Amino acid sequence: MNFRTYQVAASGADVHHDALLSNLAVAAFANGTEGLIANELFPEVGVAKQSDRYAILDKGNFLRIPDTKRAPKTEAKRVEFQVSSDAYFANNYALAGEIALEDLANADVAFQLRENTVKLVTGDMLRDQEVRIANLVTSATNVGSGVLLAGGDKWSDYVNSDPLGDVSTAHAFIRQRTGLIANVAAMDADTLKILRRHPDLLDMYKFTRGGQLDVEQIAAAFDVARILVSNAVKENALEGGTSSMTSLWGNNCLLAHVEPAVSLQTRTLGLRFKWRPEGFPADMGVVTQREEGAGKRWVEVVESHRFQDEKIIATDLGYLIATTIA
């Protein structure tokens, strides 16, 4: 089965908007796939336009404390929100899979072939989104601050490193800059593996632990509500080349404040801006189209799409601890 990006012409008798397959794609995208964390790190907010500006509230609005004492017969002091703005643009992301018509004709259950194709297409779109968001938050220039661990400071050095101290510094930065707390730590599976056996963390549970710590214990030690763990890897080699797999998130740990229920005014690290143009299939909707007849390739094309942009909207709500492993 071959995959390619495909710009569908959403008109004509041979184009079909498949509601059942669309529901499957929407569920897959909303739930993500195992080992992907971008959906949880950047909540989704719906927008009315493909491109627009959104408000950025000055953090002083929330942290500056006014004098509220009022003298008799005087007006109450007035405050106003200081606002700046930034822009988003919801790009069109789409991917399609091809199924040979003879495979459909020979299948015991043709829907199963289409369902598997939708899962593959949706999975690839999720991984593409994961790369975009991982690249955003693992760049020190995009988040409020961070540290590049070196030498004995790397958490894989069980003698000299101080992960609890590094995380405490991250907490202090976010709280002092915003008045909010880091409630999420995001990391790759290799970093988690190192932490599960780190002596400093094991010592906190020396009377209750087994041979290694679980995710909930590390979350408690890091004083966060959740740890998001990415198992995702990516193939760096071109098709036909020698395989070269690397962690999609790299050896990093991001501390962040993330709000699960969001609006355009929410104070959270980042957002996914989702737009649905009028007349288009539903977001992540599936379009099927047959290419058959003289000069055609005799395939059924199954395509899914979405319009989206990802933005860090509050840089001081993130702190990156980079290169955790030697």
Give the mean model confidence (pLDDT) for residues 305-321: 94
Between these two residues, 320 and 125, which has the higher pLDDT value?
A: 320
Band (pLDDT 50/70/90 cuts) for residue 293 is: low
Res 116 pLDDT > 90: no
Band (pLDDT 50/70/90 cuts) for residue 26 is: low
Band (pLDDT 50/70/90 cuts) for residue 82 is: low
According to the model, what pLDDT value does residue 228 have?
A: 97
Res 28 pLDDT > 70: no
Give the mean model confidence (pLDDT) for residues 279-308: 74
Average the pLDDT over each of 100-104, 135-139, 220-224 and give the range with the smallest value: 100-104
User: What SS3 state is found at 168?
Assistant: helix
Half-sphere CA count of 263, side-chain side, radius 13 A: 2
Q: How far apart are CA 230 and CA 42, in angstroms?
A: 14
According to the model, what pLDDT value does residue 211 have?
A: 74
Q: What pTM, to 2 d.p., does this model score? A: 0.80
According to the model, what pLDDT value does residue 295 have?
A: 63
State the residue for tokens 């955003």. Answer: 136
Res 2 pLDDT > 50: no
Strand ranges for 110-157 from DSSP E: 145-148
Between these two residues, 235 and 156, which has the higher pLDDT value?
A: 156
| Domain 3-63+78-322 bears CATH identifier 3.40.50.2000 | no
**Cβ-contact 219, 226 below 8 angstroms:** yes
Longest alpha-carbon distance in the chain: 89
Specify the pairing of strand 226-230 against strand 270-275. unpaired
Give strand pairing partners of 97. 3, 302
pLDDT tens digits, 239-271 = 888 998 889 999 999 999 999 877 767 889 999
Band (pLDDT 50/70/90 cuts) for residue 284 is: low
Sign of CA dihedral 247, 250, 252, 256: negative
State the residue for tokens 């490193």. Answer: 161
Res 322 pLDDT > 90: yes
According to the model, what pLDDT value does residue 209 have?
A: 62
Res 216 pLDDT > 80: yes
CA proximity to 209, closest of 166, 220, 186: 220
Between these two residues, 49 and 117, which has the higher pLDDT value?
A: 49
User: What SS3 state is found at 183?
Assistant: coil
